[in-house]
Amino acid sequence: MTDIGRLLEVIGGRNAKTVGLQFPVGLRTKAVELAQEIESKAGVTCLVSADPSFGACDVAEMPVDLTVHLGHAPMPHLRYDRVFFYDLGSPPLKDLGFVDAAIPLLPRRVGLLTTYQFREWLPAIRAHLEAKGFEVHVGPPDRRVAYAGQLLGCDYHTATVIDGDVDGYLYIGTGDFHPLGVAILLPDKPIVIADPERGEARDLKDVRDRILRQRHAAIARAHDARTFGILVSRKIGQERMGLARDLKALAEKHERSASLFLMDLVSPELLEGYRVDAWVNTACPRIAIEDILQYKQPILTPQELEVVLGERDWKDYVFDEIRAY
Site of interaction with ligand SF4 (CB under 6 A): 54-55, 57-58, 152-154, 237-238, 284, 286, 322
CA distance 128 to 97: 11
Least CB distance to ligand SF4 at residue 284 (A): 3
Least CB distance to ligand SF4 at residue 44 (A): 28
DSSP 91: P
Query: What are the beta bridge partners of residue 66?
Result: 19
Nearer to ligand SF4, 135 or 177 (CB): 177
Least CB distance to ligand SF4 at residue 178 (A): 8
Nearer to ligand SF4, 154 or 172 (CB): 154
Phi and psi at 174, nearest 5°, equal -110, 145
CA distance 261 to 164: 40
Nearer to ligand SF4, 208 or 286 (CB): 286
Sign of the torsion formed by the C-alpha atoms of 302, 305, 309 and 315 = positive
Nearer to ligand SF4, 100 or 290 (CB): 290
Least CB distance to ligand SF4 at residue 80 (A): 14
Let me know: does 8 contact 42? Beta carbons within 8 Å: yes
Least CB distance to ligand SF4 at residue 295 (A): 17
H helical segments located in the chain = 3-13, 31-42, 97-102, 122-131, 157-160, 177-185, 205-221, 241-253, 286-290, 302-308
Nearer to ligand SF4, 146 or 284 (CB): 284
